[in-house]
Amino acid sequence: MLLLSAVLNLYQIQWGLPIAPGSPLGWAADGVAPLGPLVYAKRTFVDGSWSHKYPAFHFIVLGVAYAPYVAYLKLTGQFGRPTDSWPYGLANPVQALSMMILLARLVSAAMGTAMVCLIYLITRRLGGPTAGLFAGLAVACSFPLIYYAHTSNVDVPYLFWFTLALFFYVRLLQQDRVRDAAYVGACLALAIATKDQAYGLLPGLPLGLVWYRLRSGRPFPWRHLGLALGVFVGVYALAANLVNNWSGFLRHIEYITGAGSAPYQQFPRTVAGQLGLLGRTIWQSAWSLNIPLFLAGLGGIGWGLWRWRPITVAVLLPVVSYYVTFIGVVSFIYPRYALPFVLVGAIFAGLTLQRLWSAPRPLALVSRPAIAVLLVYSALYGASVHWLMYHDPRYRAEDWLRRNIRAGADVEAFGPAQYLPRFPKTLQVRRVMLDGYVQDAFRQRMPEYVLLTWAYYRRITEDDRKDFDQEELLEQLWNGRLGYRVAADFRAPDFVAPNLIPGLNSRITILERTQQAQQPVRSGLDAITRPTPGTGGG
């Protein structure tokens, strides 16, 4: 199980590396490597204040992971005085920054594999080693968890700390050891200091503890709750660096409660909107775990509730509170936001599969082969991440650009660098963020080539608010009225899993300027911008 997880998390770990000269970002959106930890260290300890859309703790973790390599660069003269722009004081910035991204990905991969072990240990406590094995395999084969274990995003790290808290929480419920309450408080603090949205998981744990203790006829857990709260406050203050960076922390809170969340609301805060949000959350969770395992998880939850087992409610309460206090508040859901449901769903799926595996002989003759087929399917489902990474359209776009465009050609690429291919040095590339009315300015530039990536322009063409002036520009590019035609079009075929992560398999289209207007593109804008069922953002 752990070997399988390690292989799934490490294969294709070099995806999109080395980085392009002059562009320090990798291909995963919202990653914090390579520069995040370096900027954190400089602005915290030299400038005196640092703020980011994420809290401080994972920047500290990656700083520790970077330290030996940065020391090596310093000792060998490859890292001089740091600067705020390329090459950042590095003698070989492409090599050095690519290595830092790789180190950050290795941290995520290690945490992802450790999370599989923790889910095994949690489920073994609830249903035995066979249930633990099935639950661990379910997590190991989760498509989005494998993907985020290949990135420097903070999603797998915060989920690792939450899963560690969940392990101590289940042990606290069963063994009533006071020190486990301290461990729960510390791990929850580290989870929230890694990614703020983990706060949604917090209320369910003390509620679950109180529920379980009272249902078991034991006294109210005052001492456990007080110890957990005290440890939580102390560890969070240190991990989020409140003492040394209070002003930066306040700016961070201002951002995440304002500009950082306002633009992304998918559903109105009405009854119909909330029902739509709930349906989308269930859909995303099902595709993220895979449909058969998701149904097995629902079966495990239903069995526990039907038998009125207090432990079922106690384990469910953290994700219920997460939905109510986070998903329901922000009113949007991406696959990575559904990952807490995947973890808890895997626990109950493991319990269901264990019961089927241990069923009486007539049923076992059917259930055991079915479970074996399900596990093979789940492994292929998760491994399809590697298929999409290996066939990433950006690789083929890069090859086409090298072979088909003359040196010095003018190329305009729409979107941030993490969604774009690595451009040859010989091209004059202008990266454009579509903001406001841009068509007149584009008509003045009229570049020789335009590169579009679905991961970026889908936000313009599919947003329900329809308040983007850029939609007209994209429509006229596609139908030829601006004098462009499609020169190349790349997309990897889906293997097993749907296109859950748009940035992983983003259609890349290259348009070429012509001397006269072309006939409308056969597929049309609408036909190429609709995701397959189960797709989402993030």
Q: How many domains does one find in the chain?
A: 2
The confidence score (pLDDT) of residue 417 equals: 86
Pairing, β 484-490 against β 449-453: unpaired
Range of the domain at 520: 391-528
Indicate whether 41 belongs to any domain: no
**396 and 344, same structural domain?**
no
Please check whether residue 224 is in contact with residue 172, taking contact to mean a CB–CB distance below 8 angstroms. Answer: yes
**402 and 288, same structural domain?**
no
* Range 229-244 burial, b when 16+ CB lie within 10 A, else e: eebbeebbebbbbbee
d(CA 69, CA 130): 41
Side chain identity at 254, as an amino acid letter? E
Please check whether residue 136 is in contact with residue 120, taking contact to mean a CB–CB distance below 8 angstroms. Answer: yes
The confidence score (pLDDT) of residue 536 equals: 39
**239 and 314, same structural domain?**
yes
The confidence score (pLDDT) of residue 521 equals: 43
Indicate whether 434 belongs to any domain: yes
Report CA-CA distances (Å) from 198 to 184, 193, 321: 13, 9, 10
Is the pTM here over 0.75, yes or no? yes
| Neighbour-count burial of 374, counting CB atoms closer than 10 A to its CB (0-12 exposed, 13-18 middle, 19+ buried) | buried
Rounded to 5°, angle at Cα 452 from 447 and 453: 155
**396 and 384, same structural domain?**
no
Side chain identity at 233, as an amino acid letter? V
The confidence score (pLDDT) of residue 440 equals: 79
**282 and 187, same structural domain?**
yes
Name the average pLDDT for the chain. 89
| 436 C-beta neighbours (distance < 10 Å), count | 8
**299 and 245, same structural domain?**
yes
**498 and 353, same structural domain?**
no
The confidence score (pLDDT) of residue 441 equals: 81
d(CA 338, CA 345): 11
Please check whether residue 107 is in contact with residue 65, taking contact to mean a CB–CB distance below 8 angstroms. Answer: yes
**447 and 374, same structural domain?**
no
Read off the tokens for 371. Answer: 């479970």
**126 and 202, same structural domain?**
yes
**312 and 255, same structural domain?**
yes
| 145 C-beta neighbours (distance < 10 Å), count | 30
62-95 pLDDT, tens digit each:
999 999 999 999 999 999 888 888 899 999 999 9
Helix H or strand E encompassing 230: helix 222-239
CA atoms within 13 A on the CB side of 330: 22
Please check whether residue 501 is in contact with residue 144, taking contact to mean a CB–CB distance below 8 angstroms. Answer: yes
Indicate whether 54 belongs to any domain: no
**399 and 382, same structural domain?**
no
Domain boundary pick from 363, 389, 415: 389
Read off the tokens for 537. Answer: 């953002």
**413 and 340, same structural domain?**
no
- Extract the runs of DSSP E, i.e. beta strands, from 351-505: 410-414, 428-432, 449-453, 484-490
The confidence score (pLDDT) of residue 217 equals: 79
Read off the tokens for 512. Answer: 């070429």
Domain boundary pick from 343, 369, 389: 389
Find, among 81, 78, 103, 105, the residue nearest to 93 by Cα: 78
86 contact partners, CB below 8 Å, separation of at least 6: 22, 24, 93
The helix/strand/coil state of 225 is helix
Find, among 119, 324, 313, 55, the residue nearest to 201 by Cα: 324
Indicate whether 82 belongs to any domain: no
Indicate whether 339 belongs to any domain: yes
Rounded to 5°, angle at Cα 167 from 163 and 171: 165
Residue segments in the chain with a per-residue pLDDT below the cut of 70: 260-264, 435-437, 461-469, 494, 497, 515-538
SS (H, E, C) 441-483: HHHHHCCCEEEEEHHHHHHHHCCCCCCCCHHHHHHHHHHCCCC
The confidence score (pLDDT) of residue 520 equals: 40
Indicate whether 62 belongs to any domain: no
Kindly report each contact of residues 278-283 with a partner whose C-beta sits within 8 Å and lies 24 or more positions away, as own/partner.
280/333, 280/536, 281/323, 281/327, 281/333, 281/338, 281/341, 283/534
Q: At what angle do helices 155-175 and 204-215 cross, to 10 degrees?
A: 20
Domain boundary pick from 373, 389, 405: 389
Instruction: Report the sign of the C-alpha dihedral through residues 125, 126, 130, 132, in that order.
Output: negative
The confidence score (pLDDT) of residue 136 equals: 97
Indicate whether 35 belongs to any domain: no
Indicate whether 32 belongs to any domain: no
